[in-house]
Amino acid sequence: MAASSSTKPIFILPPPITTSSSSNSKQLSFLYNTTTPISIKLSHSCKNRALTITNATKTVDSAQTSSVSKTRGGSYDDTVSSGTKPTILVSEKLGEAGLSLLRDSANVDCSYDLSPEDLCKKISSCDALIVRSGTKVTRQVFEAANGRLKVVGRAGVGIDNVDLQAATEFGCLVVNAPTANTVAAAEHGIALLAAMARNVAQADASMKAGQWQRNRYVGVSLVGKTLAVMGFGKVGSEVARRAKGLGMHVIAHDPYAPADRARAVGVELVSFDQAISTADFISLHMPLTPTTKKVFNDDTFAKAKNGVRIINVARGGVIDEDALVRALDSGKVAQAALDVFTEEPPSKDSKLVQHEKVTVTPHLGASTKEAQEGVAIEIAEAVVGALNGELSATAVNAPMVPAEVISELAPYVLLTEKLGRLAVQLVAGGRGVKSVKVVYESARGPDDLDTRLLRAMITKGIIEPISDSFVNLVNADFIAKQKGLRISEERVAVEKTPEYPIHSIRVQISEVDSKFGSAILEGGDISIEGRVKYGVPHLTKVGSFSVDASLEGNLILCRQVDQPGMIGQVGNILGERNVNVNFMSVGRTVRRKQAIMAIGVDEEPCQETLKKIGEVPAVEEFVFLEL
């Protein structure tokens, strides 16, 4: 419902958002509770793995500062603005090259072999945590951090030891190092494959025991045999390349692997059952998820060829170890070569480890000097970059958008959050925001317009001004769902140049009342529209009124009778109170009827100043908005 034009209500919002003057605070991030960046650039220091977001200023609601610091235990942003370095806890051994990079930007606490209780005690004073596979980063860890922990870095590929759901809920970014140890893991898989086939470990132990048993350790040849690679990701595809060099026929199963990548390697993608039933060797390279946990069990082994051989350098939990022992005892599985186990280290009396048909190594997949150094550097760059406001390409719980897409959408990132913030401030009444529609006008085709990043920023802009939740790109969707906020998106094709991805963006909020009746469309929705002009976000429409207002600083919207002298009257009121006006724009529907005046101001006018504006006879309604 629109506000009455006769009452000329005055709308006073909460205390102003103040801008930090510290030069150190001018780094935003997608991670923290801030405004969005003015520009985004590619970071070359991380070999194009990360995106640097620069030239943005952190904003803090002065009315909430004290309560935020109490409930969240401080934040990295607070550390930055105070001029001190963030603290990074390294809970497992990391290569010196990575530690050196960390020490250049942060206070580094290397505390190894922490108990879960000790980790929870330490974490409340840390801004980032780096782990390998041994440290369990549980929900209790995130709760103990009191909101200060902003980044968890996993020095390796797998992240099954990190509670991703809890990390997302608490707004903590999780990054890993998926590329540096790829070759090392693949080489170890091939080493185990060959060693198992030729009984290298068993023959070595026999000789060291003083025996010479040539007939006992007759092996099998690899050439011409079929290898099934289960999981055709980075490591799996490297194993496939090397196995083909050994003369093996390679097939693979991976429901997410593109067929063209498999063809490029010379590998045939097949179903799970086909891979299991036709392979002579099975090499596991799948992550540990609820779907893959113990996927190799009695039923799976029953489908395999008699005498199949299994290699696992991925995750121990994907194999039911008791079932594997039974398959080895029966001869269904001829041999196994394992680098990973369900429990690490496994018990000393483990039947699987002690089995004479099993070759084992203590999780050495990434344990080469080159890989250790590479992983240390990769995770250090990702963690430091995240603390500096970069959205890492190795983030595992944030919207994953290609670098080229983020670079192109950079100007629209700020626009979308500003529109979200502006729209929610126009809402009146206590019903709350439940339904939001976002309309993109674009000359691009549906498959050439990735709006995930923009959707997340609109969500962030809408939720932050009306919630005490800590909202960022990591947890925006989660909090929206938690609060019952539904956001739908629509693309409208326009005949404009496709050089620019988006012509305009409209945000509509349904089933709410408005503080500013002119923002209401005939259908009853609050509607505002904006576009990027000369690289700067602009408000171009309020309801059915066209305007041209730069979305910087604060904004006063006035609906008035379209008559001469209005700009001068309102401008004089603001000038008398030392409120600096940085622009004025007037839009109207019909000449001499009604118009909307958009006034950009550097400061927040006091209540008396706003009251005087409301007393101007030709002003029918107005609202002050913080942007």
Catalytic residues: 315, 344, 363
Closest residue by Cα to residue 251 from 295, 220, 282, 223: 282
In this structure, the strands spanning 581-588 and 513-514 are unpaired
Separation CA 31–CA 453 (nearest Å): 13
In Å, what is the CA distance from 53 to each residue of 26, 387, 464, 467? Answer: 10, 11, 20, 25
Angle between helices 369-387 and 96-105 (to 10 degrees): 20
Count of C-beta atoms within a 10 Å radius of residue 367: 15
Q: In 251-332, where does DSSP find H-type helix?
A: 259-265, 272-278, 298-303, 321-330
Matching residue, tokens 């929870």: 120
Q: Which residue, among 312, 270, 267, 268, has the nearest Cα to 294 in the 3D structure?
A: 312
In sequence order, which ranges of 248-315 are alpha helices (DSSP H)? 259-265, 272-278, 298-303
**Among 123, 120, 88, which Cα is nearest to 102's?**
88
DSSP run (H or E) holding 599? strand 594-601
Q: Measure the CA–CA gap between 33 and 165, rounded to whole angstroms.
A: 19
Task: Find how far residue 622's CA is from the centre of its chain.
Answer: 38
Buried b (16+ CB within 10 A) or exposed e, 302-335: eebbeebbbbbbbbbbbbbbebbbbbbeeebbbb
What letters, b where the CB count within 10 A reaches 16 and e where it falls short, cover 251-277? bbbbeebeeeebeebebebbeeeebbe
* Ranges assigned E (strand) in 286-357: 308-312, 333-338
